[in-house]
């Protein structure tokens, strides 16, 4: 980690390219991450064969609630799905500003984690002179969605505590971590998305012809697949608590939609993308809940 990287904004020094199939659409997409000036933020440019590109800011207010992913939209029918792993990699690498050109409707899943993104981006980070924005939470807030919940409290650092419920394993042990970028890159970025092989197969059958299909690109090779009470993906788990680590990865990726780092402690039970977006709204819509440093 370069000196000043924790407090100063960053971008990429050169174009970084990713290609692969999307988790839900199953279609190939190409992503080009381009340098951007300080204060630009993360902006997705959806390249259309006909007409101008569609521009969508990576902002919590632009989230469209779709299952099993974070989807950004410009308020029309234009959208980009499954941005969370790339956003998590941006956090880990200290990239606050980038123009992300996309040919397709979904960010490629690659191996199901943020690691391939981190590996490609880490060697091309350029530190800028401007200071990174920090959001310091000053009061307790809580949001719920059925049995799932997220609570935030004031804290001196960025802390995340996650407990995950995974069928058929039940409630997993709590995972607790004071996050910094090096620990995220080494301990969380490699954690892969996961799910039931049976549920994914049924989703492919019943959503294939819907406008927003689910899991058409999922396989045992790009996700941790669970079948009959055991992990059936080649090589097994990368971490004993890989399920919880991936929940934390998704959570951190979604928090980047606030446009800055957090100084707060988040405690979560089985958080979803939708619930994390609700927490961002609760914090950022309440001027008494936080201070921007």
Active-site residue set: 273
Q: Tokens 């064969």 belong to which residue?
A: 49
Q: Under DSSP, is residue 181 helix (H, G, I), strand (E, B) or coil?
A: helix
**What are the angstrom distances between the C-alpha of 138 and each of 59, 153, 166, 185?**
22, 7, 32, 28
Q: Please count the other Cβ atoms lying within 10 Å of the Cβ belonging to residue 157.
A: 11
CA-closest candidate to residue 82, choices 114, 52, 40, 45 = 114
> Cα dihedral sign for 242, 243, 247, 253?
positive
Residues near 211 by beta carbon (within 8 Å), at least 6 away in sequence: none
Q: Tokens 């492919």 belong to which residue?
A: 204
Q: Are 57 and 43 in contact (CB under 8 A)?
A: yes
User: CA–CA separation, 4 vs 293, rounded Å?
Assistant: 16
Q: Are 43 and 74 in contact (CB under 8 A)?
A: no
Q: Please count the other Cβ atoms lying within 10 Å of the Cβ belonging to residue 66.
A: 17
Q: What is the DSSP letter of 106?
A: B
Q: What is the DSSP letter of 56?
A: E
Residues near 52 by beta carbon (within 8 Å), at least 6 away in sequence: none
| C-alpha neighbours within 13 Å on the C-beta side of residue 282 | 19
Q: For helices 273-284 and 242-255, what crossing angle results, to 10°?
A: 40
């Amino acid at each position: 980690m370069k000196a000043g990287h924790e407090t100063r904004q960053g971008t990429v020094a050169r174009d970084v390219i990713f290609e692969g199939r999307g988790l839900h659409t199953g279609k190939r997409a190409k992503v080009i991450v381009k340098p951007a000036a300080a204060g630009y933020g993360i902006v997705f440019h959806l390249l259309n064969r006909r007409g101008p590109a569609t521009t969508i800011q990576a902002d919590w207010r632009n989230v469209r609630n779709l299952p099993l992913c974070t989807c950004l939209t410009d308020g029309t029918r234009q959208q980009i799905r499954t941005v969370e792993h790339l956003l998590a990699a941006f956090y880990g690498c200290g990239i606050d500003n980038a123009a992300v050109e996309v040919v397709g409707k979904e960010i490629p899943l690659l191996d199901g984690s943020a690691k391939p993104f981190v590996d490609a981006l880490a060697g091309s980070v350029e530190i800028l002179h401007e200071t990174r924005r920090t959001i310091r939470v000053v009061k307790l807030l809580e949001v719920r969605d059925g049995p799932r919940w997220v609570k935030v409290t004031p804290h001196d650092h960025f802390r995340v505590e996650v407990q995950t419920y995974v069928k058929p394993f039940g409630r997993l042990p709590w995972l607790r971590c004071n996050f910094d970028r090096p620990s995220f890159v080494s301990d969380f970025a490699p954690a892969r998305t996961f799910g039931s092989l049976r549920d994914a197969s049924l989703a492919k059958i019943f959503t294939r012809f819907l406008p927003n299909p689910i899991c058409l690109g999922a396989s045992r090779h790009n996700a941790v697949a669970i079948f009959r009470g055991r992990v059936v993906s080649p090589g097994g788990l990368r971490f004993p608590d890989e399920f919880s680590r991936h929940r934390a990865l998704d959570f951190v990726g979604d928090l980047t939609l606030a446009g800055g780092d957090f100084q707060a402690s988040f405690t979560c039970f089985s958080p979803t993308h939708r619930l994390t977006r609700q927490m961002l709204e609760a914090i950022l819509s309440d001027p008494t809940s936080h201070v921007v440093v």
